[in-house]
């Protein structure tokens, strides 16, 4: 009988769908496997017994990979399982950056007692005018499960899509619309695109890649979107870019003291994967991978 411990309740969603030779423990020290969503495990003492950690999500930067490797603990993640949820929020982010939907909603709420609101709205709407995304150029840095999905939807919305990925897999290339311009140098994205969305993991070579040098190469009025990891952007440089007018909007899924409430920043509280469907997919995949390892010794990272 294997014992598992959940650091985040989401993991239970997956467990309820499985029957097997395991039981839940509230005591992490008894656990053979740990299921985790976003809880940071870096300061955690890894239990002696622990054999596997499964992350219900794509990024593994909340898991101490080196410590796990030293102790022979196998780490699983669930790439692609929440790609739809993130894709839809990226598209929403582009629309939020282009149309003053939030300003309009707030105006209506603030004027709810105006008996002539319909009439007043007709006068006020000039203050909330926006632009369209059709015919604009979208640059995607990273063409993994999420980048590919964003690319294909953006094409259907009439955008011209550029994609950069030095590690593009054959599978990913196959799934990519033939209409996406696959560039071999990221500068081509910086120089040409009206919207730039980053979809890469946070590693040493990507940390802070959206910085002042990159921004200097971009078009005036570029919109930057970051639904991958906060530290991919040097946000102080991004704020400078907003102040100078070079960056029109920064849309991010990672609130912090630099961006929250800042003019030009549209910040949501890490909602990319927060849909019923994505949470369910991630939890099921994480549990399946972990149980298959604990019960059968199989290491399959889906």
CB of 272 to ligand MLT, least distance (A): 6
| 275 touching ligand MLT, by CB under 6 A | no
Contacts of 250 (CB under 8 A, 6+ apart): 223, 224, 225, 226, 233, 235, 238, 239, 241, 242, 259, 264, 265, 266
Backbone region of residue 35 per phi and psi (left: phi > 0; alpha: psi in -120 to 50; beta: other values): beta
Rounded-to-integer distance, Cα 126 and Cα 107, Å: 12
**In this chain, which of 273, 285, 290, 294 binds ligand MLT, going by CB under 6 A?**
273
From 95-103, 128-136, 236-244, 269-277, give the range in contact with ligand MLT by CB under 6 A. 269-277
Rounded-to-integer distance, Cα 287 and Cα 291, Å: 6
Q: Are 247 and 219 in contact (CB under 8 A)?
A: no
CB of 78 to ligand MLT, least distance (A): 7
Is the CB of 36 or the CB of 294 nearer to ligand MLT?
36
Q: Fill in the DSSP letter of residue 146.
A: H
Q: Fill in the DSSP letter of residue 230.
A: G
CB of 108 to ligand MLT, least distance (A): 30
Q: Which residue's CB atom is positioned nearest to ligand MLT?
A: 57
Per-residue x/- marks for ligand MLT, 97-136, CB under 6 A? ----------------------------------------
Is the CB of 50 or the CB of 200 nearer to ligand MLT?
200
Rounded-to-integer distance, Cα 152 and Cα 117, Å: 39
3-state secondary structure of 287: helix
CB of 253 to ligand MLT, least distance (A): 8
3-state secondary structure of 87: helix
Rounded-to-integer distance, Cα 117 and Cα 35, Å: 51
**In this chain, which of 270, 275, 280, 292 binds ligand MLT, going by CB under 6 A?**
270
CB of 228 to ligand MLT, least distance (A): 8
CB of 207 to ligand MLT, least distance (A): 16
CB of 257 to ligand MLT, least distance (A): 20
From 103-111, 155-163, 231-239, 268-276, give the range in contact with ligand MLT by CB under 6 A. 268-276
Contacts of 10 (CB under 8 A, 6+ apart): 37, 56, 279, 282, 283
Residues 136-175 that bind ligand MLT (CB under 6 A): none
For the chain, report the end-to-end CA distance as a whole number of angstroms. Answer: 24
3-state secondary structure of 161: strand
Residues 29-88 that bind ligand MLT (CB under 6 A): 37-38, 57-59, 82
Residues that bind ligand MLT (CB under 6 A): 37-38, 57-59, 82, 270, 272-273
């Amino acid at each position: 009988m294997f014992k598992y411990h959940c650091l985040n309740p989401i993991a239970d969603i997956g467990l309820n769908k499985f029957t097997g030779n395991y039981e839940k423990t509230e005591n992490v020290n008894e656990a053979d496997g740990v299921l985790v969503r976003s809880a940071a495990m870096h300061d955690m003492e890894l239990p002696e017994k622990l054999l596997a950690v499964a992350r219900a999500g794509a990024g593994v930067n909340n898991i101490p990979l080196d410590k796990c490797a030293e102790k022979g603990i196998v780490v699983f993640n669930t790439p692609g399982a929440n790609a739809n949820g993130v894709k839809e929020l990226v598209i929403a982010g582009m629309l939020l950056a282009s149309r003053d939907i939030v300003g309009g909603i707030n105006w209506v709420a603030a004027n709810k007692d105006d008996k002539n609101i319909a009439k007043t709205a007709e006068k006020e709407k000039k203050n909330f005018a926006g632009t369209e995304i059709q015919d604009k150029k979208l640059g995607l840095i990273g063409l993994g499960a999420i980048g590919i999905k964003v690319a294909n939807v953006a094409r259907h919305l009439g955008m011209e899509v550029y994609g950069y990925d030095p590690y593009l897999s054959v599978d990913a290339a196959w799934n990519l619309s033939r209409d996406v311009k696959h560039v071999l140098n990221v500068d081509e994205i910086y120089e040409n695109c009206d919207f730039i969305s980053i979809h890469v993991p946070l590693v040493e070579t990507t940390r802070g890649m959206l910085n002042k040098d990159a921004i200097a190469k971009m078009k005036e009025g570029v919109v930057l979107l970051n639904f991958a990891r906060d530290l991919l952007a040097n946000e102080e440089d991004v704020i400078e870019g907003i102040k100078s007018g070079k960056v029109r909007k920064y849309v991010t899924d990672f609130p912090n003291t630099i961006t929250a409430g800042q003019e030009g920043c549209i910040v949501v509280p890490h909602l990319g994967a927060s849909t019923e469907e994505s949470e369910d997919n991630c939890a099921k995949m994480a549990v399946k991978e972990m149980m298959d390892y604990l019960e059968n010794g199989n290491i399959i990272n889906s």
